[in-house]
Amino acid sequence: MTDATLFVTGGSGYLGSRLIPGLLSRGYRVRALARSAESAAVVAERGAQPIVAELVDVSALTDAMTGCSHVLHCAARLREGGSLAEYHRDNVAGTENVLAAAQEAGVLRFVMVGAAMCLLGGPTIENADETWPLHEPRYSPYARTKTIADRKVLAADREGFTTCVVRPGWIWGPGDPQSASIVDAARNGRLRLIDGGRYPIVTSHIDNTVHAIDLTLQRGNHGQAYYVFDDGSIEIGDFLARILAGHGIPAHTKSIPRRAAWITGTIMDNVWTMLRRPGQPPISRLMVALNSGPFLVNDNKARRELGYTPLVSLDQAFARFEKC
């Protein structure tokens, strides 16, 4: 148990709204940034004190963080779509503002939720770890700006101000929006596996991700990043089949070659950009990159430095998977 006040951004999202109850159970007093009345209602329902402010308002953020010893930065632009400038504003400039406010307010520990997918754009991802460089793939404004934000957080570490980044993989579990999209695509006959779904990946169940973040808030070392995953790996096709089975949908076997998927994703990305359509296209180059090769990263560092072990195994998580 702890006795500290913590400021959270992104508290109304899938991860953040599940983090708040866990943090409260650990003894934290939680203030949560809310950028709309809807967000304020969500975080209040979870038990946090809503703080109405914008990421561009460093002064308001500083006031909100005054008296907090910890900041947990989960907010990011992901599914909203938009231009690279919009992603940069939210994911890079927004992170810079939260960092500046935290330092001005005298916060002691700053943890950001990063993304393992920022490894994309380099060599084949097999047995990767924190020594591998992150990349800025041009085809994904999300991954590109998350990499820049990740670097800024780690570079801000100094005496009296510990900064860390937690880098989960595919965050999944009951009600997660990505699984819901897959279930919807399967029900409507639009789901296609890339190269038969034969590539192994690592995943990050919501319960395991929340546990890892809690440990990082307590024990993360100065200027360090930590990958955190479920136990072992699983082929993409098997992972999707077990998600679908949890919703009463038969295993999916329709497949598309990687090259055809990449061409389709490129066209979709360009159409969404040129027409400024909201949200993400049904197929994107980022989606293809994530599902058309192995994505194997180890989390030995988190296990060694944080004492991290998954709270739930893949089998346990699938056994209790609920309908979205």
The answer for 47, left when phi > 0, alpha when psi is -120 to 50, beta otherwise, is: left
The answer to whether residues 31 and 49 touch, using CB atoms and an 8 Å cutoff, is yes
Handedness of CA 82, 88, 92, 95 (dihedral sign): negative
- Report the share of the chain in percent with pLDDT over 70: 98
| pLDDT for res 115 | 97
Output 52 or 252, whichever has higher pLDDT: 52
Strands (E), 1-96: 5-9, 29-34, 49-52, 70-73
pLDDT exceeds 70 at position 323: no
State the average pLDDT over residues 181-196: 87
Half-sphere exposure (Cβ direction) of 80: Cα atoms closer than 13 Å: 11
Question: Per mean pLDDT, which range of 15-24, 159-168, 200-209, 217-226 is the poorest?
Answer: 15-24
Q: Which of 142, 199, 226, 308 is catalytic?
A: 142
Topology adopted by domain 5-172+204-229+298-311: Rossmann fold (3.40.50)
Q: Which amino acid is at 133?
A: P
| pLDDT for res 278 | 78
State the average pLDDT over residues 212-223: 97
User: What's CA 128's distance to the chain center, in Å?
Assistant: 18
Is 308 among the residues known to form the active site? no
Span 257-267, pLDDT tens digits: 999 988 998 99
Per-domain residue ranges of the chain: 5-172+204-229+298-311
pLDDT exceeds 50 at position 324: no
Q: Which residue shows structure tokens 């866990």?
A: 22
Output 183 or 135, whichever has higher pLDDT: 135
State the average pLDDT over residues 241-255: 85
| pLDDT for res 137 | 93
| pLDDT for res 304 | 98
pLDDT exceeds 50 at position 53: yes
DSSP-assigned letters across all residues of 140-190: -HHHHHHHHHHHHHHHT-BTTBEEEEEEESEEESTT-HHHHHHHHHHHTT-
pLDDT exceeds 70 at position 302: yes
pLDDT exceeds 80 at position 1: no
pLDDT exceeds 50 at position 139: yes
| Main-chain phi, psi angles of 305, to 5 degrees | -90, -30
Output 320 or 177, whichever has higher pLDDT: 177
Query: pLDDT-based confidence at 205, cuts 50/70/90?
Result: very high
Q: Which residues contact 83 (CB under 8 A, 6 or more apart)?
A: 141, 273, 276
Output 127 or 320, whichever has higher pLDDT: 127
Span 67-77, pLDDT tens digits: 999 999 999 98
What's the mean pLDDT when you consider all of the chain?
A: 92
Output 63 or 265, whichever has higher pLDDT: 63
Q: What residue spans of 26-132 are helical by DSSP H?
A: 37-46, 58-65, 84-87, 94-105
